[in-house]
Structure 1
Amino acid sequence: MAGNCIRAWRSAGVPKEVLGVGGCRTFSAGSGKAKKGSKGGAAADAPKESTLSKEVKSTTVVGANILKDGADPKILPDSEYPEWLSHLLDKRPALSELRRKDLETLPYEDLKRFVKLDNRARIKENNSIKAKN
């Protein structure tokens, strides 16, 4: 729309300096050169088949290497890992479940979690009320 207006002014003989569009950048709709047989790059985005064998996948942590010259770490038996690691997968109670329990009988960790989740819920509620106003 703005391009049509500028073209109209140029055709009327108004110089570029007056219009202030000497360094104006325009955008094209496309290059017009599409690859044969492709539709929007969907084929390029398709997942590739893995070339790793099942044995390698079951004995190593594939993709966990962060070093340039390093190798992927091997999977160890469960007895080789620290005990706290297995507790990371434990399910922790949700806020609704904690609200149903008696707060005075909750263990310290659950009470701490309740306070954190309750504060977060109150902040979200206050923010939504302010956003509506």
Structure 2
Amino acid sequence: MVIGCTRLIRHIGFLKEANGVAGRRGFAVGSKSKKGSKGGAADAPKASALTKEMKSSTVFGANILKDGTDPKILPDSEYPDWLWRLLDKRPPLSELRRKKTETLPYEDLKRFVKLDNRARIKENNALKAKN
């Protein structure tokens, strides 16, 4: 019995040492800098070579294709009408509940049903969580 306990204690000690070695984190080796250069001077951002005309006529960073180019900004008449209504304020659920559902436009009625269902689901989940 004593021999079994000592083996167990040695095994636990070995596991702690192995965990200590495996749990340590090393540092990455930095790149060797050239002699005479200062550390941060090489990483300084460079001035943009884009002209004002290019900046005002192109959407930079919108290209998702490898071989594609950034899209040009078009006149407002070239974009669909729904695009200009995306940021319009829509009525919240409390305001939609105060109105009669028979007089609501179709879009507001769809929004009311969606928000009402979401509120009921949240309420039911909260009641179940309490139990």
Is 1:124 matched with 2:122? yes
Is 1:14 matched with 2:10? no
Q: How many residues align?
A: 108
Is 1:89 matched with 2:102? no
**Match runs of 1:102-121 below 5 Å:** 102-121=100-119
Alignment match of 2:23 (pick from 27, 42, 51): 27
Query: Which secondary structure does the structure 2 equivalent of 1:89 belong to?
Result: coil
| Residues 1:131 and 1:110: Cα distance change in structure 2 (over 3 Å) | same
The corresponding residue for 2:77 is 79
| Residues 1:98 and 1:49: Cα distance change in structure 2 (over 3 Å) | farther
Q: Compute the TM-score of the two structures, normalised by the length of structure 2.
A: 0.63
The corresponding residue for 2:36 is none
Query: Which secondary structure does the structure 1 equivalent of 2:54 belong to?
Result: helix
Moved more, 12-21 or 68-77: 12-21
Q: Normalized per residue, which structure has more helix?
A: 2
Moved over 4 A (4+): 15-21
Query: Which secondary structure does the structure 1 equivalent of 2:82 belong to?
Result: helix
Q: Which runs of 5+ in 2 are unaligned?
A: 31-44
Moved more, 79-88 or 101-110: 79-88
Q: Which amino acid aligns with 1:27?
A: G
Q: Which amino acid aligns with 2:108?
A: D
Cα shift at 1:117: 0.3
Cα shift at 1:54: 4.5
Query: Rg bigger for which structure?
Result: 2
Cα shift at 1:102: 1.7
C-alpha distance in 2, partners of 1:49/1:126? Answer: 56
Query: Which secondary structure does the structure 1 equivalent of 2:66 belong to?
Result: coil
Q: Which runs of 5+ in 1 are unaligned?
A: 1-11, 36-47
Q: Which amino acid aligns with 2:112?
A: F
Q: Which amino acid aligns with 1:14?
A: R
Query: Which secondary structure does the structure 2 equivalent of 1:124 belong to?
Result: helix
| Residues 1:79 and 1:32: Cα distance change in structure 2 (over 3 Å) | closer
Could you say what the CA RMSD is over the residues aligned between the two structures, in angstroms? 3.5
